Structure 1
Amino acid sequence: MTPPPAEAITRLAQTGRVRVDMPLGTELTQGLHHALASPEMVWNRAIRTPFGTDVPATVFDAQDPVEKARLIAMVHEEAGEGFQFIYDRLRLGQARAMGLPLPPPLDGLHALFNAPEWLDWARSLTGDDRIAYVDAQATRYLPGHFLNGHDDRHEDAGRLYAYVLNLTPRWRVEWGGLLAFLDDWVRVSETFVPAFGTLNVFRVPQPHLVTQVADFAPDPRLAVTGWWRTTPPPTA
């Protein structure tokens, strides 16, 4: 791999966040987009509930319209004053451990991210030799999906840095789905538009959110996200 750009190393050290253009190369990046955009891709709908379990997106969407509207209204009510989210995802490490079929090259991404070459690249970018494991989940934000403000803090999870690999070929600011960073949980200090192939990396903990995708957005916001960790999570 090409070493991280010197300016990216400096910016991450100074601000705690950075975006790097096309670190995986054009061919692999395009292949990952095709995998996530494929009709064969399996998605689970993630909503914050006391049970912490996802529901297959096809099952959620096939519900009785009244029940579906009730659930969405509940999500919106909780989001108005607290932490809530709704989006689609597939945890790659968990899927591989369960033997679920994944489309190439998505099938090999989790292994690639945990190969010595990529781990060395991450350590070079951050200057942090504690990075020993990368988890990954494919994500899809459809119109109406969002992720409220949080800082990725998690006791004993070993999270050092969060990352977002953006995989939507074309995106307009007006469509929402922006990664916004907060000062003191009140003011937006910086916003990253999900430009194709860019890798956003930021230090944990750090307040941030994903703005709601507009109803008129013609395409889903696709990405692979996760954390650079000290150790694997129990359900990697």
Structure 2
Amino acid sequence: MTRTLFALNPGLDRPAIAAALRAHGRVQVRQFLHPDAAESIHEVLSRGTDWGLAWAATGKSGAHIRGPELRAMTPDARARFGLEAGQSASKGDFGFLYAQYPMVEAYVQGWNPGHPLDLLLEHLNAEPMLGFARDVSGIAEIIKADAQATLYAPGHFLTVHDDTVVEEGRRLAYVLSLARDWRPDWGGHLNFIDDDGDTIEGFIPRFNALNLFTVPMRHNVGAVPPFAPVGRFSITGWFRDK
């Protein structure tokens, strides 16, 4: 039997979600998708995605290396990305390292026509999802969503930043978490940081939970430690007004 790839949970309490987002600028919506849809996307991420690598370090803008290119590199060459990103983080600069499949780029360039992640990107830009984003955020100007599939494996991280990219029209960030049975000791939390550097709230990677927060907002993704036995799967991006 073919599972549904994308369907919102019809029982979502939109007024309550909107109230929480207005009050705090962030909210975690549990059981966001119909269970079959969440299972379908998890299967695509765990078994059907050709993961590349996203990384950024001091003095270098973020880059993505596609899966085939990454696999062709020597172990020492692959390790260099983590070393440089880690050195950036150690100095307090912006840096990140995680497995990535850039869904918009793949869709536009036709990497894998008809791939489920192409279809998922279309669903994220269809009215049920965009209408939900407008309803709960009160941002009527939202016209589209971008997306990337991400996998934080042991050693991966994303340092503190606020998501501001004015020319992209980012209004509302989202993280659709599809990490199964995640434990607090495995890191990977979506942490919100105040001006004093304190973590004021953190969302554990929770299966079938949608995390929403307004842009700008300071946050990071906590490092996944070496002993974590599984990866932190998610679909992430921004709802945009241009």
TM-score (norm 1): 0.90
Whether the aligned pair in 2 keeps the contact of 1:4 and 1:125 (CA below 8 Å) is no
State percent identity of aligned pairs: 36
Post-superposition offset of 1:109: 1.1
Q: Does 1:166 align with 2:203?
A: no
Match for 1:83 among 94, 102, 123?
A: 94
- The answer to which of 154-163 and 95-104 deviates more is 95-104
Residues 47-126 of structure 1 aligned to structure 2 (within 5 Å):
47-48=55-56, 50=60, 52-57=62-67, 59-60=69-70, 63-80=73-90, 81-101=92-112, 105-126=116-137
Aligned to 1:7: 16
Question: SS state of the match for residue 33, structure 1?
Answer: helix
How many angstroms apart in 2 are the aligned matches of 1:67 and 1:42? 19
Deviations along 1:81-119, one digit per CA (max 9) or x if unpaired, are: 210000011121221111122675433111111112221
Aligned to 1:234: none
Post-superposition offset of 1:22: 2.2
Equivalent residue letter for 1:7? A
How many angstroms apart in 2 are the aligned matches of 1:137 and 1:227? 10
- The answer to which of 149-158 and 5-14 deviates more is 5-14
How many angstroms apart in 1 are the aligned matches of 2:52 and 2:173? 21
Per the alignment, do residues 197 and 148 of structure 1 end up closer, same or farther by CA in structure 2, a change over 3 Å counting? same
Equivalent residue letter for 1:56? R
**Unaligned stretches of 5+ in structure 2?**
1-7
- The answer to which of 73-82 and 167-176 deviates more is 73-82
How many angstroms apart in 2 are the aligned matches of 1:51 and 1:207? 19
How many angstroms apart in 2 are the aligned matches of 1:9 and 1:146? 29
Equivalent residue letter for 2:194? D
Whether the aligned pair in 2 keeps the contact of 1:28 and 1:105 (CA below 8 Å) is no
Q: Does 1:27 align with 2:61?
A: no
Aligned to 2:5: none
CA-atom RMSD in angstroms: 1.9
How many angstroms apart in 1 are the aligned matches of 2:74 and 2:125? 42
Match for 1:210 among 218, 221, 230?
A: 221
How many angstroms apart in 2 are the aligned matches of 1:18 and 1:75? 29
How many angstroms apart in 2 are the aligned matches of 1:156 and 1:7? 31
Number of paired residues?
230
Equivalent residue letter for 2:37? L
